[in-house]
Structure 1
Amino acid sequence: MIIAPSFGRPGRTLVVAVSALALASCGSGGDSAQQPAAPPPTLVTAVTVRAEAVPNIVDLPGRIEAIRSAEVRARTDGIIERRLYQEGTDVKEGTPLFRIDPRDRQAAVQQAQAAVQRAEATRLNARQVVDRYRPLINERAVSAQEFEAAQATLRQAEASVADARATLTRAQLELSYTTVRAPISGRVGRAQATEGALASAAQATPLTTIEQLDPVYAVFSQSSSELQTLLSQARAGQIKLPTLTGVEVRLVLESGEEYGPIGRLNFAGLTVDPETGSQVLRASFPNPERRLLPGQFVRGRLLAGTIDGITVPQRAVQINGSNAAVSVVGQDGSVSVRPIQLGGQTGGNWIIRSGLKPGERVIVDGWQKVQPGGKVRVEEPKPAAAGAGRPAGQPGQGGTAAQPGQPGQPGAASSPASGR
């Protein structure tokens, strides 16, 4: 439309305003046509956490000790002639380990044998005298004093025989010490004395060491205050503690690998170390492959009863260095990242010490695709995975979503309950 210039000033102003409004309305209509639609909420799998009985796991540092350890030392004097074993091998109790020069002890045995023969001859003569005097005493051919003297001489001769035999036994024992034998079965260490060295019984010369390595002990130090707190919680009913021998222990090696066989506590110290304020706990472990060696550093995970707690599947936890967090779905479907404090692990689940409450929904699968504050849609569980909403770490008790193609769950989708 062309406006005639003959219009007055007010008319021109009105026409310009109307034209501006028309142009603005056309521009806004074009922008709305170009604006994209909002994306749909991201599909995720979540579990509803609940309080349940979870293991109370206590981590303690410890070291391995041999269940039996024997220091092999010399028990007689002499020159070591030969080492009779191979270092670092397993030996049975009574296996010869060293041979000490036996000639001096052999001579002592022969001397003691001669003393026994001499004492026996003296005793035989004394007995014959008594036997001759006995019928004569009634005929008064021998006085009573002489007969009593003959009996006393016989008793002295018998005592001399006993003394000589004891000396012979001692000499034979000393001779047996010239062959040093293993006092226990186990793995024998390196020789601490070589051929030609002088072994001394008075100085108890060390020769080698034998250690039994199957089973072995793992010795832990537990703070006395923490142990008293644990016992107080047990008395208050907050923790259900088993008996001492019922406490299971798992070992974590220095490499971070978990040792397979499970041990059990068999000793708890009744005294507190005044320097460290700790008490000693000891567990026994089978060690058929000799993977555990005395002095080795380990960490023990003690299953000290059960407590009411919360668990979530391992794949739901976001770990960044020493920090851990989970993605929580709110009532309105929005996602927030919640820092948590982790406990131990059980059945493929993390035990949550703090940071979550029963009834909250934690994203298990799909949290990588969601930003904090974003909206999500929680997938409903399929009938085959109906028990997947209970994070107990057991088959049929959830915490881990069913995967397609698993036995008995063909095509089952990963979807726990969504807050129902």
Structure 2
Amino acid sequence: MTSKVSKVTFGDFHYWLPKVLTAIAIIAVSSFISCSSGNGKNQNQLLIEVPIVELKPMSITVPKTYVCDIQAVQFVEVRAKVEGFVNRIYVDEGQFVKKDQTLFQLSSNEFNEMVNSANAKLRQAQAEAKAASLEVERLKILVDKNIISPSELELARSKRAVAESAIAEAEAMLKNAKIGLSYTTVKAPFDGFVDRIPFKTGSLVTAGDLLTNITDISEIFAYYKVTENEYLQYMRTRLENEGVLDQEVSLILSNGEVYEHKGKLETMEADFERGTGSIAFRVRFPNPDQLLKHGATGKVQMEEELKDIFLIPQKSTFEIQDYTYVYILDKDNKVKVRSFKPLQRFGLFYVSDSFEQGDRIVYEGIQQVKDGIQIAPELKPEKDVYDTLVKS
């Protein structure tokens, strides 16, 4: 089978060549214009609009809380001073008692006998001393009449001195016997509440055994520990205020309620605790309703004023391992990654002092940007950025 081949004459080629060249030129120009328009469009698309915030220094008051131990203003262990049986218990556990009110009565027969014996020895010593004094007076008359020698008078006076010293010894024995007898009656050392009573009536107690505890909770102490840096900051502020720092302290109870009475920071320990490097502060709280008990727990809360700090929205940050980062803009609106160390959290913000006034950071949409790209910044109004702060 033979194929037919079309023949093109020179005249036909001469006729079509100009038209083909013209079409090629038009296509080339159109392609150039199209490419130019496309590049410009892509460049505009790279400059994405991203909300930013311009940082300004500000002063805020932030709450600071510390775990604390609550202790009674007075807490005393009532212990037996002598051995004996518990004859009677006059109070009950949890009862409020007054100072010098009788709590326990221990057996006292042995101490009564010691008192009686000491009284007898005292009377004997007094009688002997009286007889010695009479003997001195008698011998003095005889010496004055030169009937006996003065040496006998001196001997009598020495015997009188021995008898008088025996009186002093007997009085001391009687005093000690009475003190021992008084120890059998156990009294409250101050106004307070009776704790648990481990020994019951008839129990044998020895010297040193714990009978109960007495707690005075008309006021309470709250002890909390701070770091050395916080201690130095407190002392610096105190010195700036000429040693006076009348700051009210709140107490948050274990159930989350805020105690209705405010406390006053009074004093601190003398030394830092080894190992932890912390030091304890003491706050005194009134306790008119006896709501707080010795040994309870809670948190003390106080307000701290931070000056010239920057609030960084948490939505503007991201973390890699232990570091916190933001995207910051340079003068050409190029994004740079920058790390910073937050001082603490405050609501939905990080508190930091690592920035300068006028620094611009990406406010939101940080997933859309990366280090080194140029963006079209959209400045976010300050009231919108810190709106949550105002509401809180």
- 1:271 to partner: Cα distance: 1.1
Task: Name structure 2 gaps, 5 residues minimum.
Answer: 1-54, 316-342, 359-377
- 1:247 to partner: Cα distance: 3.2
Contact 1:94/1:182 (8 A) holds in 2: yes
Structure 1 Cα separation of the partners of residues 137 and 253 of structure 2: 80
* Residues 1:341 and 1:72: Cα distance change in structure 2 (over 3 Å): closer
Partner amino acid, structure 2, of 1:127 = S
- 1:57 to partner: Cα distance: 3.9
Structure 1 Cα separation of the partners of residues 250 and 158 of structure 2: 73
1:197-232 deviations in whole A, cap 9, x for unaligned? 21222xx11100011111000000111233235556
Partner amino acid, structure 2, of 1:249 = V
Matched, 1:131 2:130: no
Deviates more, 1:295-304 or 1:163-172: 295-304
SS in 2 for 1:246: coil
Structure 1 Cα separation of the partners of residues 85 and 142 of structure 2: 59
What does 1:62-141 align with in structure 2 at a 5 Å threshold?
62-141=68-147
| Counterpart for residue 206 of structure 1 | 210
Task: Name structure 1 gaps, 5 residues minimum.
Answer: 1-48, 313-317, 319-339, 345-349, 360-372, 379-390, 392-398, 401-420
Choose which of 212, 220, 223 in structure 1 pairs with 2:227: 223
SS in 1 for 2:176: helix
What is the count of residue pairs matched by the alignment? Answer: 290
| Counterpart for residue 300 of structure 1 | 300
Partner amino acid, structure 2, of 1:210 = I
* Residues 1:291 and 1:308: Cα distance change in structure 2 (over 3 Å): same
* Residues 1:89 and 1:292: Cα distance change in structure 2 (over 3 Å): same
Choose which of 163, 171, 176 in structure 2 pairs with 1:165: 171
Structure 1 Cα separation of the partners of residues 123 and 68 of structure 2: 61
| Counterpart for residue 157 of structure 2 | 151
Contact 2:310/2:352 (8 A) holds in 1: no
Contact 1:245/1:264 (8 A) holds in 2: no
Partner amino acid, structure 2, of 1:258 = V
Contact 1:309/1:352 (8 A) holds in 2: no
- 1:248 to partner: Cα distance: 2.2
Matched, 1:285 2:285: yes
| Counterpart for residue 263 of structure 1 | 263
Deviates more, 1:128-137 or 1:53-62: 53-62
| Counterpart for residue 252 of structure 1 | 252
* Paired-residue identity, %: 28
Contact 2:199/2:211 (8 A) holds in 1: yes
1:17-66 deviations in whole A, cap 9, x for unaligned? xxxxxxxxxxxxxxxxxxxxxxxxxxxxxxxx997765464321111011
Structure 2 Cα separation of the partners of residues 242 and 61 of structure 1: 28
| Counterpart for residue 273 of structure 1 | 273
* Residues 1:270 and 1:148: Cα distance change in structure 2 (over 3 Å): same
Structure 1 Cα separation of the partners of residues 285 and 160 of structure 2: 62
* Residues 1:172 and 1:245: Cα distance change in structure 2 (over 3 Å): farther
Structure 2 Cα separation of the partners of residues 280 and 215 of structure 1: 19
Structure 1 Cα separation of the partners of residues 310 and 255 of structure 2: 26
1:59-82 deviations in whole A, cap 9, x for unaligned? 211110111111101111211111
Structure 2 Cα separation of the partners of residues 358 and 295 of structure 1: 48
Choose which of 187, 190, 193 in structure 2 pairs with 1:187: 193
Higher Rg? 2
